[in-house]
Amino acid sequence: MKLFLKKYLKLKLKIQYYDYLYYTLNSSIISDYKYDQLCMMLKKLEKENKFEEKLKYTNYNFKKNNFSYLPEIEHKTPMLSLLSGSSIKDFLKYDKMLKKRFFIFNDIEYFCDLKIDGLAISLIYHNGILSHAVTRGNGYSGENVTINIMTISNIPIVLSSPEIPKILDVRGEIYIKKKDFLLLNKISSLHKKKNFSNPRNIASGSLRQKDPEIARKRKLQFIAYSCNFFNSSLNLEKHDKNLFLLKKWGFSICKIFSICKTIHDVIQFYQMVTKIRLDLNYEIDGIVIKVNSKILQKKIGYVEKAPKWAYALKFFSHSVETKVIGIHFSIGRTGLITPIAFLKPVFISGVLIKKVTLYNKKKILELKLHIGDIVKVYRAGDVIPKIEKVLLKKRSITVQKIIFPYYCNICHTKIIYLEQEGLMYCPAGFFCQAQNEKRLLHFVSKNGLYMPGLGLKIIKKLLKKGCVKTPDDFYKLNIQSFEKISGIGIILTKKILNSINSSKIVMLNKFIYALGIFLVGKVVSKNLANFFGSVRNFLNSNYTILCQIEGIGHNIATSIILFLKSKENLKIIYFLKKKLCISSFFSNSFYMKDFSKIWIYQKKFVLSGKFLTMSKEKICTIIEKYGGIVKSYISKNINFLIIGLKYGQKFKQAKSLKITILSEKEFFNNLLKKNVI
């Protein structure tokens, strides 16, 4: 069971990270297909091991608010994700499951249309007038983008019909046409600006602009795919009738759709769309299949993150032939060396692809890749460029074998090879110039020692002037150090020095993480802090002891030992040990024994308002530190609402659900009474 739980938690953390990138940063580093596979693996583990409900995965807790100046608005009904698959076989399983679970003996009538690659939006109309437009956000609340939405020509501002409900919520997709996307990238290239990677990024970025003229110039489009009526006598029985009513009221709906009476009709529609996909004037990544009957939709219901009556059947990206013209070995922050293949530029789905990440030595050997080879390249999930295969039949006699480096081309340290994983890295750490910039930035980051004000630009200037070479040098800086650097005044200097001073009190797990040891992330850092309890114990560790710790195997243990064997690294750590107050909650065995007795343990909290004692983020850290769970929305499962100044709607919702409401003062008094802080 322990092995299964370890595998489960590791997989869960992976998915949480990808959710954070997608929903918070509007970025994607993994294909939809790969993401769906991970989710399926997680569900399979849950099913096989009959995990308790509290352990089961939901991604809403990780869809944190976007870093934006835009105000937030709560959705009238949640904007959920879709169940999905990438093959007809997956959809057949889904259809079989529906029929079996809900005792449906006849063919289900499905409504099928296109899954457009854009940004989901909710348009709220009060008495037929557009009052606000909200992005998906965390599913329960999103950003108010009304001003920019009003610049989109095919979104009606006023609806004139006696049938219009008092409150109408129209859901749809904001997208950009292929020709407009290519034109924008051409203009960006002319002005020597960075190109947009995909149409979704343009839609997302345009709606977050402060100047609505930018959104207007980008010629965004809107397609409606569903609606909700409030305070209305309208009660249409079928999804397609709702859509046709929206069309009548002036909304654009997808012109390519099918009302499928049988499974065979759905498959035919999918195959037809696959053929015409490249001829469409907008990007799509699959089709959406919905149960057409609203009565049956209601009966089928929802899982926590998606309606069970809708399914996204996705495509594999099409591939294009091009030539590999060179290989470059890039050195990352941890010293990991990543091979990058440079290609003869080629367009795939409207994006110019010039290079592809090959991940590791193992991948190159699997592909049997040579410089000069003709390869097939595709965009996984229509996002990440990848080499599908090498066309060996087209290989010429002029190709060259790839020579893997033995020494780092920057600091000339011997490269370490992890043969089983195919990984290679430079162990020089802070003394490798290629790593140092990013390592220093990592050291002062939020998850490290956190020194607000010290960004990459300032670190580069400090490095250039020789003021900083290794992390211990941050604590040697003074006002005179910054006088040498242009663009940094006395106010910023004092802010930086204050943040350096504040960082001197730090938890052991954050200190270990800040060191940037290869293969040691946040989870491993916590496990190390939990096990050792002090810097001294950590420094006295050996390979055998490290391998006893949860989540640490041969490669991580070897990486830690190599890091701690370096005299230069030890010199930095001993200096920092003297300068900093490094504490560990985990070093007190009393808490480890009686953790479950703390009143916060496994209770669910929501925060609302402005807090005076400490920031929301720090309160969340305290709650999570003692086994509590922080949620962003009110539901009947919430145990406590903590309110500060200017609290919002969450207070009324909590009161109506009889949830315990604590003021900021009451929360901290409870902590002190129970000896938690």
Backbone torsions φ then ψ of 293, nearest 5 degrees:
-75, 125
Cβ count within 10 A of residue 402:
18
* Alpha carbon 615 to chain centroid, angstroms: 23
User: What does residue 676 show for φ and ψ, rounded to 5 degrees?
Assistant: -85, -35
* Dist CA 122 CA 74 (whole Å): 11
Of 397, 316, 388, the C-alpha closest to 346 is 388
CA distances from 356 to 34, 101, 421 (A): 17, 44, 19
Residue 58: both structure tokens together: 């939901």
Count helices and strands (H / E) in the chain.
25, 24
Secondary structure of residue 618 in the 3-state scheme: helix
- Which residue in this structure is represented by tokens 């480890």? 592
∠ CA 194-197-201 to the nearest 5 degrees? 100
Active site residues: 115
Distance CA 207, CA 151 (A): 10
Token pair for residue 387?
């080499």
Helix (H) or strand (E) holding 604: strand 604-608
- DSSP labels for 445-456? STTTT--TT--H
State the distance between the two ends of the chain, measured CA to CA, in whole angstroms: 34
Distance CA 248, CA 235 (A): 16
What is the rounded CA–CA span in Å between residue 25 and residue 35? 17
Q: Which amino acid is at 134?
A: V
For 655: left if phi > 0, alpha if psi spans -120 to 50, otherwise beta; the answer is alpha
Note whether 538 and 617 are within 8 A (CB): no
Distance CA 131, CA 124 (A): 6
Q: Under a CB-based contact definition with an 8 Å cutoff, are residues 644 and 608 in contact?
A: yes
- Three-state SS for 64-130 is CCCCCCCCEEECCCCCCCCEEECCHHHHHHHHHHHHHHCCCCCCCCEEEEEEECCEEEEEEEECCEE
Count of Cβ atoms closer than 10 Å to residue 91 Cβ: 23
With beta carbons less than 8 A apart as the criterion, state whether 377 and 343 touch: yes
Distance CA 144, CA 152 (A): 15
**Contact between 96 and 109 (Cβ < 8 Å):** no
Give bridge partners of residue 606 from the DSSP assignment.
631, 641
Asked if residue 321 lies in contact with residue 376, where contact means CB atoms within 8 angstroms, the answer is yes
Name 615's Cβ contacts closer than 8 Å, sequence gap at least 6. Answer: none
Nearest to 355 by CA among 380, 326, 398: 326
Q: How far is CA 337 from CA 28, 162, 415, 552, 665, in A?
A: 22, 65, 9, 21, 50
Q: Residue 15, CB half-sphere, CA atoms under 13 Å: how many? A: 24
| Spatial contact of 87 and 316, defined as CB atoms under 8 Å apart | no
